[in-house]
Structure 1
Amino acid sequence: MNPVQLYRQKLRTKEEAITFIRPGVDIITPILAGEPYALMKQLETYAGLDGNRLFQMFTTREVLDIDPEKLKIISMFMGTTERKAFKEGKIDLLPNHFSDIPKILKQTAKDPVVMAVVSPMDEDGYFSLGTNSDHVAAMISTASTVLLEVNEYMPRTFGENQVHVSDVTALVENHQPIPEAPSAKESEKDKLIGEYVASLIKDGDTLQIGYGSIPNAIIDNLKDHRNLSIHTEMIPEKIIELYRSGAVTNENNPFQKGKITATFAYGSRALYDFLHENQDVYMMPVNKTNHISCLQSVKNLVTVNAGVEVDFLGQANSEMVGDTYWSSTGGQSDFQLASHISEGGRGVLCLHSTAKGDTISKIVPTLNPGTPVSTSKNDIDYLVTEYGIARLRGKTIRERTKALIEIAHPTFKEELTFEAKKMGYL
């Protein structure tokens, strides 16, 4: 049977496709734009659920309204709607390193059903996971059931995110625009941080950077750099400008020379059009892009991530804002550790020095009880605020404390110094 015949044989309505999900099995979906909304929404009216679990990650949609006895929803990295649902006890959160999610799911998921959005099938019978590879590409080969949502708005990308029609249980067609990232406006603080971080990046470096106003500001300062390579977990919007400026050649990318390598992408339609059938982009599963055993071959790896707050020891919280669980660890600790074992590597953590109109210092004597540590004191390297750069790696506790106070907001320096002396750190 040829690919077109197989396609027709496996094509279903969403109501029919969802019946392949049996009671008690676990459902796994991709991060962000790869989430199959039509299939997921159909779960709300599907009577066949009983004791199922849904593993989702950074959903862009409203959390499904389903009795948890029928479907328990577990987030692996929370977005806006998931934060609210978690605080209300409607969903749960699975602690993880992003690189470890495929292994966790293979060990714990029951007869996993993978559901994902894909680009239309090519002439050889292959679909592309498009903006995604993430944990789903690593799970498809062991999944008991594969349900795909074919969407012509999903760009066709290349790499290890291809799915052949013969490996698919059922297909549905749902052609609608895929989710786009909101624009991130750069503040004056972001621009200052961008300049400081860019000063740490050298020609020939390999860069891991994500989405947001601070990464955007950093990229704005890299257009005159040369021979940069991009190996990252997420391809952000601004990478297009860096690529077109000639700063990015990917000559030093050990995974795919001459190509951008990543595990997912999220941005505007312009980013998705840039990705579509772009041979200079290669998508890989997250247990390769982020895993320390794979990253050890990358020389001059510069990793850039964001934090919420950091204490005098150098412990960074990047997951909780006040009493609200905001996100999860993601790939931060994966890449932070990788920057240490990379020959010539640097790990950079960025944050504004204050929050809430300069009324709260984000450099603190100690993290509050119950606050998660996303990057440990042993893994921290560079910390950057709008007031400068503090190199913490190789520094003692007293040296770290002094360096952190130097890049704190001036309003809080006296208070922080007082607390440091009271703790015996100065």
Structure 2
Amino acid sequence: MAANDSTSTPLELTGLDAAVDRILERVDGSLRIGAPLGLGKPHRLLNALYARVKDMPSRPLRLYTALSLEPPAAGGKGLEGRFLGPFVKRHFGDDFPRLAYVHALGRNALPAHVEVEEFYMQSGAMLGASQAQRRYASLNYTHVARALADRALNVIVQKVAREPGGTRLSLSCNTDLTFDALAAIQARGLPRPLLVAEVDPGLPWLDGSAAVDADFFDIVVEPPGPHPKLFGLPRQPVGDVEYAIGFHASTLVVDGGTLQIGIGALADALCHALALRHTDNAGYRRVLRALGSTSVDDPALGPFERGLYGCSEMINEGFRRLVEVGVIRRKVVDDVELMRRDADGRLSADDHARLERDGEYLHGAFYLGSPEFYRWLRELPDDTRRGIGMRPVSAVNQLYGGNETLERLQRRDARFFNSCMMATALGAAVSDALEDGRVVSGVGGQYNFVAMAHALPDARSVLMFRATRSGARTSSNVVWNYGHTTIPRHLRDVYITEYGIADIRGATDEDCIAAMAGIADARFQQSLVGSATRAGKLSPGFALPARARDNTPGWLCAQLAPLRHDGTLPDFPLGSDFTEVEQRLVRALAWLKSATANRTGKLRTLLAATFAPPARDAEAVERMALDRPRGLAARLESRLLALALHRTQV
């Protein structure tokens, strides 16, 4: 058990080894350690702890965490390796502390007395790691604190920020689980875990409910510099498919409402659409018209007069943009009566003054983004930063257990946007794992938001996904059936692909299948219809509307090409971590990957590369160290790069 007898000043240390010594002294027997997901994980402390314990079978270690972020490998071969090597070195730094236990997990090489249990994995990173797959815990985000109490944690370690010029500490990027876990442990009558903080001077300071007195922690370790960079998510390019999905999704957002979004190119596209809707409404409607949206002339899709309130488990790059352009600005306060007057349109002058002074426009449980995003948080004016409230995940991802009346009033007209990998024609979603049970990522908060959308009277759950996926062959992501689902069909609500919106809340099976087939790629529609007909779910004479025949990549590319060329739909709508030369290379390498996805494509591309003219983009060739190729492999890579640059030149 943890010998937590700290009642006042925490033990302040500067050495990681000294912190490990203290943890081992204060905790008897097995170490049961909880660590935050993502950015709040103290990499250096965990590495020091793992290095000490991995050769000590007498001190079993159980680590409970999620989203153990690792930079991509920089030493790969081929064109990808040539691109990643310099980028990873610049973006993450040579001294970024890669997690030793993640490296061991990837090789199935954890010692027998060490276990790592995660409830959410870096997407696709552990598909081949049996130790990670065996110890995966399938949990809704809001159930994790209860599970941590069941495991009787005796240590919690967390990265924190120190108050500028003060003594307090901020949980900053991760208020998601620490408070909830402590409450759950206390409710079980278990001893309070030993709380250990690692101070990172680069972590943005956030006050309010994220800040605690220093004596909240038992041990505070502040290693000397130089300090590694914070983990920065490289911002990815947004393509035609992602833009189409994002703009269709944006038509569902109600002015004065509430917004939750996930992460990735789909969320980036949605945020660009909402920003454009507010700042260039004519341009926004041009995109809708090109996509054939039936909402193009809807007067409700004008600029945001009241603004949105953001309430999302994760605060990311998209929220930064929406705050900057004035879309996210509707403030809330934790006062039931004031929020009821707000809902009824009865705010007094004093109410308006209090909302302006004390209100918050963005609530989140953790944040993660690019280095530019972290710089934005650090440099925000104090009055703007005060509008961001970091909360426990129990307060963000659900209505129950807190002040449900208040949260219902705050979260009016909520739209919860998340992504999935596949969806069945009957409305179930596949988001976290494959048919054989292997976990790609995790459930996280997706089920929480889907359920909350059904519990709130004016809310909608929107699951976004690409209509197809590429591999050895192109496959449909709208499937008749699948061996694993994340969201059951009885919670179906809204699905969006690049080809439109399927609103299937409360729909019959027949109507659900028709709507889902209508947003599928045209190449796979008849197969879906045939399966449904054979199952007796569609009448033998069923036919999709003629417009569904346009659901092809060629049609979409032709519709959006003018908007890509005039800058309305840029490759990197939220900014880029790549140089201009690297952006051209990203585009070229993406084309090459798609063109060589199957054997026929590889042969065709190799033949075309043989006769391709030399690359005119000397900067790109030099960046890839192919200006003087040596050896057969390098000369082939040079020809392939030249072809890809030629095919993707703007």
- Tell me the CA shift for residue 410 of structure 1: 0.2
Of the three residues 3, 14, 17, the one matched with 1:15 is 17
What is the letter of the counterpart of residue 534 of structure 2? K
Whole-angstrom distance in 2 between the partners of 1:89 and 1:29: 16
Are 1:93 and 2:99 counterparts?
no
Are 1:425 and 2:425 counterparts?
no
Are 1:397 and 2:509 counterparts?
yes
Match of 2:416 in 1: 303
Deviations 1:317-342 (A, max 9, x none): 10124654211111111011111222
Are 1:268 and 2:370 counterparts?
yes
Whole-angstrom distance in 2 between the partners of 1:100 and 1:307: 21
Preserved CA contact (<8 Å) 2:435 2:482? no
Number of aligned residue pairs: 417
Question: Going by fraction, where is strand more abundant, 1 or 2?
Answer: 1
Whole-angstrom distance in 2 between the partners of 1:84 and 1:182: 22
Are 1:152 and 2:201 counterparts?
yes
Of the three residues 236, 239, 244, the one matched with 2:324 is 244
Secondary structure of 2:317's partner? coil
Match of 1:379 in 2: 491
Whole-angstrom distance in 1 between the partners of 2:270 and 2:50: 42
Preserved CA contact (<8 Å) 2:517 2:528? yes
Whole-angstrom distance in 1 between the partners of 2:502 and 2:35: 39
What is the letter of the counterpart of residue 532 of structure 2? A
Deviations 1:293-326 (A, max 9, x none): 1454421110000011111221101012465421
Of the three residues 300, 312, 327, the one matched with 1:232 is 312
Match of 2:257 in 1: 205
Calculate the aligned-residue CA RMSD, in Å. Answer: 2.3
Deviations 1:20-50 (A, max 9, x none): 1433131011111111001111123214563
What is the letter of the counterpart of residue 168 of structure 1? F
Question: Structure 1: which 4+ aligned runs deviate by more than 6 Å?
Answer: 253-256
Deviations 1:79-137 (A, max 9, x none): 1585146445576111111112112212x122431101111245553211121111123
When residues 340 and 80 of structure 1 are mapped into structure 2, their CA distance, relative to the original with a 3 A threshold, is closer
Deviations 1:164-213 (A, max 9, x none): 22132222224321111121211101111111100111211100002110
**Structure 1 vs Structure 2: percent identity of aligned residues?**
23
Q: Which runs of 5+ in 2 are unaligned?
A: 1-7, 71-98, 186-191, 279-302, 336-357, 539-650
What is the letter of the counterpart of residue 63 of structure 2? L
Match of 1:54 in 2: 63
TM-score using structure 1 length: 0.91
What is the letter of the counterpart of residue 249 of structure 1? R
Match of 1:367 in 2: 482
Preserved CA contact (<8 Å) 1:233 1:331? yes
Of the three residues 202, 226, 234, the one matched with 1:182 is 234
Match of 2:569 in 1: none
Match of 1:69 in 2: 112
When residues 184 and 137 of structure 1 are mapped into structure 2, their CA distance, relative to the original with a 3 A threshold, is farther
Question: Going by fraction, where is helix more abundant, 1 or 2?
Answer: 2
What is the letter of the counterpart of residue 232 of structure 1? S
Whole-angstrom distance in 2 between the partners of 1:82 and 1:41: 19
Match of 1:83 in 2: 126
TM-score using structure 2 length: 0.61
Q: Which runs of 5+ in 1 are unaligned?
A: none
Secondary structure of 1:320's partner? coil
Deviations 1:61-88 (A, max 9, x none): 3415374432210011001585146445
Match of 2:46 in 1: 40
Deviation larger for 171-180 or 292-301: 292-301
When residues 332 and 111 of structure 1 are mapped into structure 2, their CA distance, relative to the original with a 3 A threshold, is closer
When residues 375 and 296 of structure 1 are mapped into structure 2, their CA distance, relative to the original with a 3 A threshold, is farther
- Tell me the CA shift for residue 240 of structure 1: 1.5
What is the letter of the counterpart of residue 58 of structure 1? L
Preserved CA contact (<8 Å) 1:72 1:91? no
